[in-house]
Amino acid sequence: MSHEFATASIILLTTVAAACGGSKTDATATAELAPLGSSSVDGTVTFTPTSSGQVHVEARINGLQTGDHGFHIHEFGDCSAPDGKSAGEHFNPDKTDHGAPRAARHHAGDLGNLAGAGSGKQTTLDMNIEGFTLDSGPRGILGRSVVVHAAPDDYTSQPAGNSGARIACGVIRLRGGDTEPVTANK
């Protein structure tokens, strides 16, 4: 193989990888949820790629009242506002309508509802989902945020499921690595 052909092949492969949303990672990402406003809800959400191309989402949430609570990935990795509005809207790279996580049309950030276990008990979630990637590409969630809401997601109200106040928020970061939060200015 000629040097020119090898160099052209490397450039082509790099270009194709960049066009497909950047490099994928096998690393795990986590979001450490912190309470918003007067809430006492906190916990950890872990994202791990699967061999089938989905992402395994595992959540361990403390302080969540009994009942369903909207659970979404939001567009910005900014949990600084007391009401959580600095996290922006749902992550929606395809500009689709809001819906249930396995519906034909939904935001990539629509994770459904958490079934609150009640005071003093830990709420858990364990599911595989597709529609986003663990990178910083166009479908990537690294540097974005996870938000828990006070009310259930009704899956139909637009644009966000009418799930009420934001009660916990955490930025999604690579475990053991540096992740730059996505902001409104980037």
> What local confidence, expressed as pLDDT, does residue 102 receive?
73
- Quick one: tokens of 92? 């929606």
SS3 of 109, please?
coil
pLDDT in tens, the chain (186 residues): 444 433 333 333 333 333 333 344 468 999 999 999 999 999 999 999 999 989 999 999 999 999 999 999 999 999 999 999 999 998 888 888 776 677 677 777 778 889 999 888 999 999 998 889 899 889 899 999 999 999 998 878 778 667 889 999 999 999 887 899 998 876
Residues 6+ apart with CB under 8 A from 134: 24, 25, 27, 29, 47, 48, 49, 55, 140, 141, 142, 174
CB-based contact 149:69 (threshold 8 Å)? yes
> What local confidence, expressed as pLDDT, does residue 162 receive?
79
> What local confidence, expressed as pLDDT, does residue 145 receive?
97
CA dihedral of 88, 94, 99, 104, whole degrees rounded to 10: -170
> What local confidence, expressed as pLDDT, does residue 109 receive?
75
Measured CA to CA, the distance from residue 83 to residue 165 in angstroms comes to 7
Q: How many residues does the chain have?
A: 186
Q: Which letter, b or e, does each residue of 66-105 get, where b requires 16 or more Cβ atoms within 10 Å of its Cβ?
A: eebbbbbbbbbbbbeeeebebbbebbbbeeeebbbbeeee
Q: Does the CA dihedral 86-30-32-69 come out positive or negative?
A: positive
CATH of 23-174, one of 3.40.1390.10, 2.60.40.200, 3.40.640.10, 2.60.260.20: 2.60.40.200
The model carries a pTM of: 0.82
Measured CA to CA, the distance from residue 24 to residue 46 in angstroms comes to 17
Q: Per-domain residue ranges for the chain?
A: 23-174
> What local confidence, expressed as pLDDT, does residue 174 receive?
94
> What local confidence, expressed as pLDDT, does residue 23 receive?
41
- Quick one: tokens of 146? 């996870």
